[in-house]
């Protein structure tokens, strides 16, 4: 890597943010506030008045269901959000569900705006997003004494994702087709999980990786601690956290930030921060702090991205890489692109969380990709066609 390119990478990094068997609706009285209007009065009184322009927005109109999915094999209760696809009443087609996996430090609701845009464009497409371990509202099960959710190594994340989908959609023959989309760290998870699902006979329409290239990601890792040093330790209110993300341009779209950021922070006395009574962590001096302690995930950073390009190119399904700006491809991807092994889309005027910054553009890219490959999957009589990535 040249000094000029290393400097460019450093400059870019400095700008980045550092279904049980039956899926049940969560619009009941007990849980209404969890997907309804998010409260801003939790925790100690804020030190300054919250800015109402950055008040949280309910996720209720962006997904039709909010779910708590218990996965005993992982000792976790996963929080998930789901909008089912519109399918024929005769049950001849289970439809396609886009399954999202967020990046490190984000959450399921980072896909809220793009999920709604997708379903508005194509009702045949369902959308499913969830909070990974140690993110959002996913937590250890009550009977999981002695277990921890602190391990965010790639193999653990893949096992979580694989078991969660088998819990939500237990029968491969009646399950919808999956279109797997992962952002940053989540891209590595979906690429690795794809062949495992195919071995279990789940239908996969494609894999999509958002704004991560193995070479650039590995080169950026030495800068990550400096990046995390630029983040505030905490916030006086939820509104202040939203405002900080928007004012620093970590998220360009205020509406999306007002939906996604409330699950990225928690009250400083939240049990989600310290599920193990034997591990007392120092409490933040701020009323709100980060849900995910990213600095503690440093031992896993390399595992997230190593071999990503090779595994992406080896996926036996259609492949799409979506980048923010003119990101540089590493050598394996450059060769693969010249050989036509995958599709690349570049989105302008967005940052690292491109799906939050421009939900309509990303939704159109995803729907177009699905339509193109769904048509080829069904095929045309008398014509021998293959999807990108098929052998």
Q: Which residues are catalytic?
A: 184, 211, 352
Report d(CA 376, CA 374) in Å as an integer.
5
Owner of token pair 């036996």: 316
Q: Do 244 and 264 touch, CB atoms closer than 8 A? A: no
Give the pair of three-digit tokens for residue 244.
């900080």
Q: Is 289 exposed, middle or buried (0-12, 13-18, 19+ CB in 10 A)?
A: buried
Strand partners, 344: 321
């Amino acid at each position: 890597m040249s000094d000029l390119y290393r400097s460019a990478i450093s400059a870019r990094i400095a700008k980045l943010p550092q279904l049980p068997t039956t899926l049940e609706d969560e619009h009941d009285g007990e849980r209404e506030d969890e997907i309804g209007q998010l409260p801003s009065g939790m925790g100690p009184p804020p030190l300054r008045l919250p800015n109402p322009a950055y008040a949280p927005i309910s996720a209720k109109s962006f997904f039709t269901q909010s779910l708590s999915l218990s996965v005993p094999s992982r000792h976790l209760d996963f929080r998930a959000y789901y909008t089912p696809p519109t399918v024929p009443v005769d049950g001849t087609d289970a439809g396609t569900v886009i399954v999202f996996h967020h990046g490190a430090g984000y959450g399921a609701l980072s896909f809220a705006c793009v999920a709604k845009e997708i379903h508005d464009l194509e009702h045949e497409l369902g959308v499913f997003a969830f909070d990974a371990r140690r993110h959002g509202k996913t937590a250890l099960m009550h009977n999981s004494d002695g277990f921890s959710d602190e391990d965010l190594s790639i193999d653990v994340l893949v096992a979580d994702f694989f078991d969660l989908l088998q819990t939500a959609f237990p029968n491969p023959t009646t399950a919808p087709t999956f279109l797997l989309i992962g952002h940053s760290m989540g891209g590595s998870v979906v690429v690795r999980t794809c062949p495992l699902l195919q071995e279990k006979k789940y239908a996969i329409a494609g894999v999509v990786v958002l704004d991560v290239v193995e070479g650039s990601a590995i080169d950026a890792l030495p800068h990550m601690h400096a990046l995390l040093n630029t983040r505030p330790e905490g916030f006086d209110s939820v509104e202040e956290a939203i405002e900080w993300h928007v004012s620093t341009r970590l998220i360009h779209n205020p509406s999306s930030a007002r939906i996604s950021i409330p699950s990225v922070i928690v009250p400083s006395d939240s049990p989600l921060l310290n599920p193990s009574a034997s591990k007392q962590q120092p409490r933040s001096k701020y009323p709100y702090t980060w849900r995910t302690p990213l600095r503690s995930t440093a031992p896993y950073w390399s595992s997230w991205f190593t071999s990503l390009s090779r595994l992406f190119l080896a996926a036996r399904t259609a492949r799409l890489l979506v980048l923010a700006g003119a990101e540089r491809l590493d050598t394996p991807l450059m060769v693969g692109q010249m050989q036509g092994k995958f599709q690349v889309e570049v989105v302008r005027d967005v940052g690292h969380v491109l799906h939050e910054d421009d939900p309509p553009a990303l939704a159109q890219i995803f729907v177009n990709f699905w339509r193109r490959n769904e048509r080829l999957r069904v095929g045309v009589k008398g014509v021998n066609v293959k999807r990108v990535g098929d052998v």
